[in-house]
Structure 1
């Protein structure tokens, strides 16, 4: 087994390794020409109108739904299959009806079958605005109940109260979403490159103010991405953060650019330990399977998609075959993380080892 120099002897959690790169100094560099990927939304369908815009993607369910010419199509995504192609390539025609007069068609990988009327009704419901209007109040009430439980929990009440913190720029105040969030923030104390819980107000959690998310930086601070060494340092920071969380039994569930911020020293910090939902495009394909439980291999798929985002300076498109567009310094790791079979993905520890190998090749890690 390869020894990970970032892991201290006698522990499975990462420690800081010596780096020669100065991310803060590079942050002032001028923007470089951004690499851009082909945008399927800009490509018209051969028959005329663009079909791409009509797909309704549900990353949590692992499928996309399309209403076209009076027929509802459900595509259950799997890489390099018909479902993948019809979702992501406007030039691929939809399959013929498997049964004459069928109101719905299911494309599960390469398999095509008819949907029952009940299935069509269930899948069509989320496409209706009225559905979301009806769902909203119930979900709002559930969220409020979980927050109230978190605020009344022994873990929350045990935190030190910091007066005046809500108006202090050194702190970030947020309402707890659940007891699990509080527990995971407590469990993550002391981990490098993970948001740190400092205390509370009467109703809110207080963490250290981190900085700008990578998502916001795509649009508001593109110069941060100009230096490749800086981007590599972010990947290392996040890899070590995920390794530390997994070593303590914490699954993040939403490893996306929304939840990585750049602090005042140019370092990446992983935030949002709510474990309550996954950003579209970062969820693994197995999310569509019955009985799916978000685990560490699923987290590693998200880490692979995060690598893609940092490399391409963009948000990944849901259901895109990431392995077909892996490039850059961490292309091999990206492919391993986004492979279809969860058991074939690397562990977070293995990811740290690979990232360190790349950094040493650039002379950025001793």
Structure 2
């Protein structure tokens, strides 16, 4: 039975990756500090090794105890961490680093692994803990992966776009699902055409396994839904799964500003399209889950959870203030006041 060691692995993407690996007959060990609840505490075929990933000796002890065939690194946030991990796990069959679509320094459509430049990373950014340096830090982590591959390590990178699905502790998707489930009218920034490529979490987990088994050293692989949707298109599909009727009320940047709001106040909004090519991953035999099936499980788990994401966007009172202001104005020009058609499931 092949053995997998997951650095991290008990929260969102890791949780689904454990299930994916179990389904393919791996024995799985998660390496964590033991500070979060372990959903696999009583699961056959899953062990937990406690330690701090910043402690090289702890990583070496876990390596020696588990003797893994593959390692998946979920919590590498700084280049120094990845440099150490690729040294410690230099002899495994595959080391897969969980990177991010945020590594790209430019945003052509689509972003391609072997063509689109990565973010530059200054020495200060390499150790900075703020989200402002997240993309540059992840890009530098990828460079550590590539350098390790040049040394003969079977190291690869997987770059998910915005990940959604069951057990998403970020609550970015929950914000919108809660709005759709609770209200008849929902405020949407812009014209609803915000295009941020998403990745269903089970597809990310499958990508990590496939890359570990079939990927080439020194390569990076984008992962995202094979069918991209705009924000309003995503809301349409989610409303269908919720079996509800919702009017989407669109507000331009100027109209939001008149009410002390901006498009950036809303989760999952981007003012520039962000799309990646997934052909390189598909060539390994990967495919994504049909959107209807992905949204079905996402919505069902949301309804069973207590997450609502309300802290991530405008309050409902603020939202209603803008909706009421838009309702008092009549305009026919493009990008002006508009209320979307009724979405029924």
TM-score tier by shorter-chain length is: under 0.3
TM-score by length of 1: 0.24
